[in-house]
Amino acid sequence: MDAKTKKIAVFGVMMGLVVIATALSGCLKSGEKHTITIRGSTTVLPIAQKTAEAYMDKHPNVDISVSGGGSSVGIQSVGEGIADIGMASRDLKDEEKTRYPNLKPIVIAKDGIAIIVHPDNPVTNLTLEQIRGIYNGTYTNWKEVGGPDKEIVVINRDSASGTREFFWEHVMQKDDFVATALEKNSNGAVKQTVSQTPNAIGYVGLGYVDKSVKAVKIKKEGTEVEPTVENVLNGKYPIARSLYMITNGEPKGIVKDFIDFVLSEEGQRIVEEEGFVPIS
C-alpha cells in the first residue's frame, strides 16, 4: 500500500468514527429540545426521578417527565407508545408478552419488600407464614402473632401494583387477600397510612422505609433477618426482586443514553443513595 492509499484508508476510518459518534450523540449536542416520558411503578419512581434530575443537569436540552401509576400502567404505557420507558417492579406477565411482543425489560436495580408497622407496635419480627396469615385473614388480632390485644388493620396495594403482584406470588403463594384490607395506590400512601395508624401493617419497597414506620425482621429457620441492602445482596432476605425499566424494542437515541446513565457508576450510586440495591 503506497502513502497516498494509506492516507485515504486512515481518512476513511476517521470519517467512519465521526459518523458513529455523531449518530450516537448528535441528538444530545443539538440545541433542539428532546423529551423522554417515563411511567409506571411507584417503587422505581424515586430512582427514575433522581437519575432524571442528574441527567437533565448534564443535558439541558433534554426534558424528562416521570410519573407513577403502578407497574401495569407502566407496561401498558410503553407497549402502546404513550411512554418511552415503563417502570416495573415485577416480571412481565405472559399476556403482556403476547400483547406487546417487542418489550425489552432492563434490570436497573434490586429491591427488598419491607413489612412495616407503626413505630409503637412492639412486634419486631414475623415469619412469612404469619405475614401470609395476616393478609389472608387467618390472623386478625396482633395477640395471635405476639403483639397486643388489638385488631390488625391490613393495608394492601391496588391491583395495578407490581409490588402487590410480587407479594401475592412470593409471600401469599397466590392465596386470596382478606376482603377487609384497605387498598392504597402507592408505596408512599401505604407508608403514610401505617405511620398514622397504630395497629396497621403494610408492605413497601425498601427505599421507602424511614423513621415514620418500623420495618419488622423476617424470622426464617430461627434467624431474624432485617430488610437491608446488605441482606438483599447476600441473599439472606427472603422477599427480594429485580426492578426494571422497559422499552418497546431495543432502546435507541436519548432513551438508550438515559438508561445507560442509570446503569453507569453515577446512576447506580443514585440507586444506592435512594435505599435500593445497585446491580453494579
pLDDT (tens digit, 9 = 90+) per residue, 43-71? 999 999 999 999 999 999 999 999 999 99
C-alpha cell, 273: 443513595
Domain ranges of the chain: 3-110+243-273, 112-240
Contacts of 144 (CB under 8 A, 6+ apart): none
Kindly compute the dihedral angle of the four CA atoms of residues 88, 212, 122, 171, in this order, to the nearest 10 degrees: 0
- 112-240 classified as CATH 3.40.190.10: yes
What is the pLDDT, as a whole number, of residue 113?
A: 97
Of residues 278, 67, 41, 38, the one with CA closest to residue 166: 41
CB of 137 closer than 8 Å to CB of 180: yes
- Please indicate whether the domains covering 3-110+243-273 and 112-240 agree at the CATH topology level: yes
Which pLDDT tens digit goes with each residue over 167-180? 999 999 999 999 99
Please count the other Cβ atoms lying within 10 Å of the Cβ belonging to residue 19.
11
CATH level 2 (architecture), domain 3-110+243-273: 3-Layer(aba) Sandwich (3.40)
pTM for the full predicted model: 0.81
pLDDT of residue 21: 41
Helix axes 45-58, 253-263, angle to 10 degrees: 110
Per DSSP (E only), the strands in the chain are 34-40, 62-69, 85-88, 103-117, 125-126, 153-157, 182-184, 200-205, 214-215, 217-220, 223-225, 240-248
- The C-alpha cell of 195 is what? 405511620
Q: How far apart are CA 251 and CA 164, in angstroms?
A: 28
Q: What residues pair up with 106 in beta bridges, in sequence order?
A: 245
Compute the mean pLDDT over every residue in the chain, rounded to the nearest whole number: 91
Residue 150 neighbours by CB under 8 Å, 6+ apart? 141, 142, 143, 198, 199
pLDDT in tens, the chain (280 residues): 554 444 444 444 444 444 434 444 445 555 689 999 999 999 999 999 999 999 999 999 999 999 999 999 999 999 999 999 999 999 999 999 999 999 999 999 999 999 999 999 999 999 999 999 999 999 999 999 999 999 999 999 999 999 999 999 999 999 999 999 999 999 999 999 999 999 999 999 999 999 999 999 999 888 999 999 999 999 999 999 999 999 999 999 999 999 999 999 999 999 999 999 999 7
Residue given cell 384497605 in the structure block: 182
> Can you say how many angstroms the Cα of residue 195 is from the centroid of all Cα atoms in its chain?
22
